């Protein structure tokens, strides 16, 4: 159990875990770009006035939501896979 508790203290495992997180974020950047394009296409087809402020707001809003959600979920997977969740749920009495 001590091996699982200190996984991110191991430099090799930490590099692997953070590499996996960065790979997830790169894929989610692609997903955010697709979502932004889909939102802009929808707005164009819906007949919304296509102004610069609309495009910037859509990019910031849709892209921000997708990337923030991916970042937070990725951190949840990182903490769960590294044993940090187990550490937080077990408490030892100091006597």
Q: Where are the domains of the chain?
A: 2-83
68-88 tens-digit pLDDT = 999 999 988 887 776 666 666
pLDDT category at 1 given cuts 50, 70, 90 is: very low
Give 66 or 16, the one with higher predicted confidence. 66
8-39 tens-digit pLDDT = 667 788 788 888 899 999 999 999 999 999 99
Neighbours of 88 (CB within 10 A): 9
Per the listing, tokens 């006597």 go with 95
Three-state SS for 21-57 is: HHHHHHHHHHHHHHHHHHHHHHHHHHCCCCCHHHHHH
């Amino acid at each position: 159990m001590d091996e699982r508790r200190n996984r991110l203290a191991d430099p090799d495992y930490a590099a692997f875990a953070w590499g996996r997180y960065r790979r997830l974020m790169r894929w989610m950047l692609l997903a955010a770009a697709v979502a932004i394009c889909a939102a802009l296409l929808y707005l164009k087809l819906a007949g919304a006035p296509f102004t610069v402020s609309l495009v910037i707001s859509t990019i910031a809003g849709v892209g921000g939501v997708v990337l923030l959600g991916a970042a937070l979920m990725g951190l949840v997977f990182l903490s769960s896979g590294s044993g940090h969740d187990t550490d937080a749920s077990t408490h030892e009495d100091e006597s």
